[in-house]
Amino acid sequence: MEHALGPGAEFDAVRRLVRGWGDLAAGIGDDAAVLDVPPGERLVVSTDASVERVHFRREWLTPAQIGARATTSALSDLAAMGAAALGIVVALVVPAAWRPDLDAVAAGIGEAVAAAGTRIVGGDMSSGAELSITVTVFGTAARPVTRAGAQVGDDVFVTGLLGGPLLALRALQRGEEPTHRAHRLAFAAPVARLGEGRWLAARGATAMIDVSDGLAADLRHVAAASGVRLRVELGALPRVAGASPLDALASGEEYALAACVPPGAVDVTAFEQAFSTSLTRIGTVEAAVPGGTLVVVDDAGGRVDLPPGHDHFSS
Ligand SMILES: [Mg+2]
């Protein structure tokens, strides 16, 4: 339950949001949140800012989707560590033009928190020029899985079907509605794969990452951190209808998980039954060689040229 908050328009807004969140909000109103870490586990923390016109456009998403997406992208980083969510804190910068939609943004944040089975334990609100949603997530894991543990000989797996967000984005940029509902959904309502991440971690995953910049770019991060090269088979890439294998490599904000796993460690059928989403072996971990951390090969074994990943500071 919330503590009593003082008077004023800002606190009125906070009270309204907390009331809207109901049981999803806990312990709000003190100077700081207090969280228990289970004995033998470690605290896993990540923060993620979503800024209007940088990470989202008001024309393409509802206010609730904007709130949910910002929260999911932060929670997805816990999934990538194999952590269970303990709680989140949310810092909102709200321009005057967004005030009428604030409750809807908050409802979206609540939806993502409910989907992850976690709660909102604190936050902050201020006015400003652009809507900005910064979500800090706290989780715990007995053995957090970093990007750095991939071993030569591991298999590389990815969850779900890739390409939907990129196809949706392309359609929206042309001023069209995405042709497939699944593409639109993957773009507007992504899911943080927390259960999947813990499942993979429990089966000995050596390295994991969530696909946010695009699979090719994110696999390069894993390879670089682990000091290995990843070999991916183009034809094996799981993709949504209408997406090419190169689309699957380039599509960002997927929030699928890519994992390196010792050979034979995962039962794909058991995973797919548990999560109603696919798990696909797409390649292997090789020893590092000069001149590249990722090689993608076609069916004939020829090297495929790769699309560049997303880089906020590239232009
Ligand atoms: Mg990440």
DSSP 52-73: BTTTB-TTTS-HHHHHHHHHHH
40 C-alpha vs ligand 1 centroid, how far in Å? 24
CA gap 243, 5 in Å, rounded: 50
What is the predicted pLDDT for the residue at 119? 97
C-alpha angle 277-227-75 in degrees, rounded to nearest 5? 35
Q: What is the chain's percent helix, strand, coil content, to nearest 5?
A: 35, 25, 40
CA distances for 42 relative to 45, 80, 144, 225, angstroms: 10, 15, 8, 21
45 C-alpha vs ligand 1 centroid, how far in Å? 12
What is the predicted pLDDT for the residue at 5? 66
218 C-alpha vs ligand 1 centroid, how far in Å? 8
97 C-alpha vs ligand 1 centroid, how far in Å? 31
23 C-alpha vs ligand 1 centroid, how far in Å? 28
What is the predicted pLDDT for the residue at 1? 40
What is the predicted pLDDT for the residue at 310? 53
254 C-alpha vs ligand 1 centroid, how far in Å? 11
What is the predicted pLDDT for the residue at 315? 41
302 C-alpha vs ligand 1 centroid, how far in Å? 30
217 C-alpha vs ligand 1 centroid, how far in Å? 11
222 C-alpha vs ligand 1 centroid, how far in Å? 11
219 C-alpha vs ligand 1 centroid, how far in Å? 11
What is the predicted pLDDT for the residue at 10? 79
213 C-alpha vs ligand 1 centroid, how far in Å? 8
Is this model's pTM higher than 0.85 or not? Answer: yes
For residues 88 and 134, is the Cβ–Cβ distance under 8 A?
A: no
Enumerate residues with CB within 5 Å of ligand 1 (an ion).
77, 210
For the chain of 315 residues, list the mean pLDDT of each consecutive stretch of 10. Answer: 64 90 90 94 97 92 97 98 98 95 97 98 93 98 97 98 96 92 94 98 98 96 97 97 95 97 97 98 96 92 77 52
The label of the residue with tokens 């049981």 reads 23
236 C-alpha vs ligand 1 centroid, how far in Å? 23
